[in-house]
Structure formats: C-alpha cells, structure tokens
Chain A
Amino acid sequence: MRIELEKRASASSLFQIVSPLLALALTLLFGALMFWMLGKNPGHALYAFFIEPLLEVWSLHELAIKAAPLILIAVGLSVCYRSNNWNIGAEGQFTIGAIVGSILPVLVPQWHSPMVLPLMLIMGAIGGALFAAIPALLKTRFNTNEILVSLMLVYIAQLFLDWLVRGPWRDPKGFNFPQTISFAKEAVLPELLESGRAHWAIVFALVAAVGVWFMMRYMLKGFEVTVLGRSERAGRFAGFSSRRMVWFSMMLSGAFAGLAGISEVSGSINHLQPSISPGYGFTAIIVAFLGRLNPLGIIVSGFILALTYLGGEAAQLSIGVSDKVTRVFQGLLLFFVLSCDTLILYRIRIIFGSDRAAAEGRS
C-alpha cells in the first residue's frame, strides 16, 4: 500500500474550511481513545473537557482570560510565519514584556496616577519588541538561525525573571515567597463586566486581530509580508526588503507577546512570580496554525485552545485525569491541523498493491 499526492490545479476552497474542522474531529476521536485507554468513560470525559466549562458564567470569564494572551501572541506570530520568519520564542517575549511592564508598579508603587496603566502596557509592548529584536538583529546582521536564538532566549528570560523575584524585586514583607509586591489599584487592568474576572486583555486581543487582518487584507504592508514569505526573490524584484521584513515581523510579534505578558500579570496575577504562563507562547504557535495564519481564524482557534486549558483543569477535578492531558490534546491538534492542511493543495490517493501494478494502472 502506498500513499501518493496529486497536486490540485488550484487550492481547494472547500478544504480551507473543512481542514481545521476535520483536524478538530480527529483530535476529539483520538482524545476519546486516550481516555478509554486511561480507563475513563470517553463520553463523560469529553463532556467534562469541552462542554462543562462553557456552561457557567464564571468559567466563560476564565475562557476569555485564557484566550486573550493566546490570540494576541498568535496574531503576531501569524505575520512572522507568513513572512517566513520563525519566531518560536514568544514565551520569552511574553516574560520580558511582563517584567518591563512591571517596572512602574514594582519600583515606584507610591506613584498613583491614571497614567500608570497605559504606561505599563506601552512599556510591556516595547520590552517584548526589543527582546524579539535580538533574534532579528542576529539574523539580519550575522545570518544566525532565528529559530534557535529565539528559543534559547526563552530560557534566559525565564531565568532572569526567576532571579528578579527571588532577588532584587522580592517583596520584603512577603514571608520570603518568591514574588514582588502586589500591584496598586491603578496598575491593575480593570475588569470588563460586572459579572466576572475577565479583563481588558481580551479586547486588546480582538482589536489586534482585526487590525492585523485589515493590514494583511487591504494594506501594502500585508501584501509585502505575503510576497516575501512566498518568495524572497519575487519580493526583491518588487522592491521589498527582506531584511526590513525580519525586523518588522519579529518586533511586531514581540510587541504583541509583550503586551500579552504585562496584561496577564496586571489583569490576572497582580504581581510577578517565577512562573507567569502555562506555556502561552508555545500554545500560541498551535493557535496560529489552527487559525490557518489568518487573524480572524485565530480568534476562533484561540478560544478553542483556551478551552483545552480550562477543560484540563475541570477534568482534573471531575474525572481525575492529570492536567498533562491538556498538553497531549494540544500536540495532537497541531499534528492533525498540519496533516489536514495537505488536503488543501493535494489530492491524496491510497494505492493498494505493488508499485508495478500501480504504474500499469496509470499508463
């Protein structure tokens, strides 16, 4: 038995819609299989994982809180990946954004002013952008591989945060817990609605998604991203600079990741601590691909991946599976998304029997 690909004359518009749905269905199927192997009732488990969190108001708020950083980061990454720049260090840019954004509330807590919060958000975005500028600088100047550099910087950023909250920034009245002082009221991102915890980060995420969608669809910059990503040579003929594109895409995604970082710290955690993210920067890679690198698709996929986090927590309590299941689900999902995307450009043929029989059959 062999599998052969046959190129379609043009990209299948049907499968552009169907492929992510197919991937979701396959993930659920394999998820059910996994629960069954763990000795759980698959129907019950999937219900606890994917439906239960949607039934109560407070958990919808949690969904929005978790979806916000995922969407914000993934929208930035989509520009990177479309332009063929592989920033996989969003987790580090998220961390540095959180640190730089926290400078004001941690070091000048006595400054009470409505300016604090906007300044924090801007500083967070700048921090993330500058941190992402490191792989951009090294790629354009020294030709280094941005994948490896941006990933190595994740470890460095996390260790730096660890040092800050255990060392110079530790709350002196915090009973030696490794965390900074709690942010003052002016430094906390306000809640959106009366009914729960969800804060403004989700609005930032949606605005960013729509903004980037507009840029990619209607602005020359968006066209430049697509052309340079498809073919650097073609882009050069059009007078686009791939060097500048490296800077643009890396710093844009870094700024979004940094904004996500400071929003998360300011809105949800209210202080800095050694661990501020359950891997948002990496999960956002999955979000970006599940959304087919389209900002509007990313909004949907961001909520889906946020649901896997919530479902993981819920399933831990209600059916007693470990939260590791979440990571497995996320990994499976990315695999199925990538393989289903093949269907957009190719027809898949499964050929039974030997090579020769197949060759004769064709001639």
Chain B
Amino acid sequence: MIEAILLTIITAATPLVIAAIGELVTERAGVLNLGVEGMMIMGAVCAFAGSYLTGSPLLGVLCGIMGGALFSLLFGFLTLTLVTNQVATGLALTILGLGLSGQIGESFVGIPGVKLQPIVFPVLSDIPFVGPLLFKQDITFYLSIALIIGVNWFLFKSRTGLKMRAIGDNHGSAHALGINVIRTRYLAVMFGGACAGLAGAQLSLVYTPQWVENMSAGRGWIALALVVFASWRPWRVFAGGYIFGAVGILQLHAQAFGIGVPSQFLSMLPYAVTIVVLIIISHNRRTTLINTPASLGKPFVPDR
C-alpha cells in the first residue's frame, strides 16, 4: 500500500521537478518565463503525436523535448531580441500553447496512448521496497534526478554556470566583462523550454498515457511557484517537487477514500498549498531579495 502510494507520488512529482529545474536555470540567467504551462502542454501534445506516429514512446519523449524547446524560442525571440515585456510575453506563450496544443491534439482525443516502459536495473530492482521505487522507473524519473545533479554542478561548480549567474545578477556588468548576455539567455530559455517539454512528455506518456486537452492543469504554474519556493536552488526544487506531488496524490487518495469533505475542496488543496507556501517563503523580504537573481525580468538592450 505505502509502496503503491510512493510510486504514484514519484510519478506526480517528476514533471513538477523537471519543469521547475528548467525554469530555475532560465531565471538564474535573469529571464522570467511565465510560459511554462504553455511549453509543457506543447511538449505533452508533441510527445503524444511523436509516440503515436512513430510507435516509439522514446521518440515521443524526444519530440516533446524538441517541441518545448522550439516553442520557447518564440518567447526568446520576443523578449531577448525584440525586448518585449517578459510577463506579458510569458502569458502570451501560455495562451498560445493551450490553444495550439488543442488544435494539434484534436485528432488524438480518445486514442489510447503507448505508455513509456520502465527501465529495469537488474539485481538492484530486486531489493525489496527500494528496488521497485528507484530502479524500476521510466526514463523521465532518471532524467529528473540527473537534471538536478547536473544543474547543481553546472551552476555552482562550472565556469559557464558562474557566468550565467553573473548575467542573472547584473546583466550590465556581465556585458561589460565581455560575456555574451543575449546568447547565454537564449540558451537558458531553450533549456527551460526543453525541460518543460520533457515534463509535458511525462504527462502524456507516463502519468496518463493519452492526450487530454489542458492536461497540464496548472502544473506549469505550480512549477513556477516551486522555483520561488526553492529560492533558486536545485536541491530544494527536488524537495519541493515531492512535497507538491505528495499533496496532489494524497488528496486523490482522500477523495477515493471518502473522508466526508467534498471532492472539490480536496482538489483545491494543491493550489491552496501553493499559496500558503508562497506566503511562508516570501514573507521575509530580506532573504527573498538575497536569493532572487537581481536582474530577473528586467529588459536588456546592449548599449553599443
């Protein structure tokens, strides 16, 4: 029983962790992309389409990643090259993503999808309890772990990561030092898009292997809140993702169990918890200021 619940929590937390770690990198470079929801849903529909048309869910995952990354490029072009307002452009990306995915996915509604098969580690997966949880998962779970470790190393141990953080904290100085601000930001935005796309692929190939309109159901927004919750640190994204995943799953179990609370109120929980968590994290103005990348959301036009 506990193992089954933990398994579903892992499945629910994985897309949140992946999307949030991507957005974390984008925001560390100083770009606020509110289009996570839109990129995620585009990833979901591209992944489903890819897997349906090629018959291979693995290729589907690849399509999801590509879809998310390409879609984020649109955001990058507007905010980085044309210097549009990042908040408004992110919203536009979400609105367009929700519409476009509905249009693309129209012919896939009701078609049963192919579930991404787990990768089984021999021997290790036979360990009782831990084995099935950690060593008998699909590739997106392993990728989520690898992404956390990789991003943590990249941001805090590598030279390029240092430059990226410098850009996020003060793009003017970084530019003066000869760092290519725009190019780095393009890459950061695309990384965020690719991650959101991968998270979407997990939704339409693992979480519920089918295409349903608006299936991201606000997860992109929760991922955005996760980044704030994590105060822009990778391991906290991981922890936060699992807390949010657990809340989502436990309320589902509570609904099935019938504890006398109307199901709608239980469904509100993930959103209400997000608000409460935001309050707890943000109420200390000083720590928030220290952690937030200083040029987050500010437009940058190189003076020549």
Instruction: Please give the residue numbers on chain A whose beta carbons come within 8 Å of chain B beta carbons, in ascending order.
Output: 3-5, 7, 81, 86, 88, 138, 141-145, 147-149, 151-153, 155-156, 159-160, 162-163, 166-167, 282, 285-286, 289, 322, 324-332, 334-335, 338-339, 341-342, 346, 348, 362
Contact = CB atoms under 8 A, between A and B. Distances in A.
A156, A160, A322, A332: residue with the most chain B Cβ atoms closer than 10 Å: A156
B288 A5 contact: no
A88 B92 CA distance: 12
B146 interface: no
Contacts of B283: 141-144
Given A138-B275, A328-B96, A163 B74 contact: no
Smallest CB-CB A-B distances: 3 pairs: A327-B99, A331-B96, A163-B264
A4 B83 CA distance: 11
Contacts of B278: 138, 144-145, 148-149
6 contacts: A3-B81, A151-B218, A160-B268, A163-B264, A322-B103, A334-B92
Contact of B82 (A152, A332, A342): A342
B285 interface: yes
Contact of B97 (A3, A145, A331, A346): A331
Contacts of A155: 218, 268, 271
Given A328-B99, A335-B92, A138 B279 contact: yes
Contacts of A152: 218, 221, 225, 271-272, 274-275
Contacts of A151: 218, 221
A285 B90 CA distance: 12
B267 interface: yes
B96 A334 contact: yes
B188 interface: no
Contacts of A153: 271, 275
B92 A324 contact: no
Given A155-B271, A289-B88, A324-B102, A143 B282 contact: yes
B87 interface: yes
A166 B221 CA distance: 27
A325 B106 CA distance: 11
Nearest to A341: B84
A330 B99 contact: yes
A149 B275 contact: yes
Contacts of B99: 324, 326-331
Contact of B95 (A86, A145, A286): A286
Contact of B87 (A86, A322, A326, A346): A86
Interface residues of B, number: 44
B69 interface: no
A151 B95 CA distance: 13
Nearest to B267: A159
B285 A143 contact: yes
B282 A335 contact: no
Contacts of B91: 88, 285, 334
Nearest to A163: B264
Contacts of B224: 148
A324 B82 CA distance: 28
Given A7-B301, A322-B103, A324-B102, 7 more contacts: A152-B218, A152-B275, A156-B272, A286-B92, A324-B106, A327-B102, A338-B85
Nearest to A348: B82
B216 interface: no
A328 B92 CA distance: 11
A331 B95 contact: yes
A147 B34 contact: yes
Interface string B89-130: 101100111111011001000000000000000000000000
A338 B92 contact: yes
Given A328-B103, A331-B100, A335-B78, A148 B285 contact: no
Contacts of B271: 152-153, 155-156
Contact of B262 (A167, A327, A335, A342): A167
B225 A148 contact: yes
B13 interface: no
Contacts of B268: 155-156, 159-160
Contacts of A86: 87
Contact of A145 (B96, B228, B262): B228
B282 A145 contact: yes
Contacts of B282: 142-145
B257 interface: no
A333 B76 CA distance: 17
A332 B92 CA distance: 8
Contacts of A341: 84
A211 B34 CA distance: 32
A152 B85 CA distance: 22
A76 to B, nearest CB: 16
A292 to B, nearest CB: 12
B285 A346 contact: no
A328 B100 contact: yes
Given A144-B278, A149-B278, A152-B275, A334 B225 contact: no
B277 to A, nearest CB: 10
B96 A338 contact: no
A282 B282 CA distance: 26
B145 to A, nearest CB: 26
Contacts of A325: 103
Nearest to B285: A143
Contacts of A339: 78, 82, 84
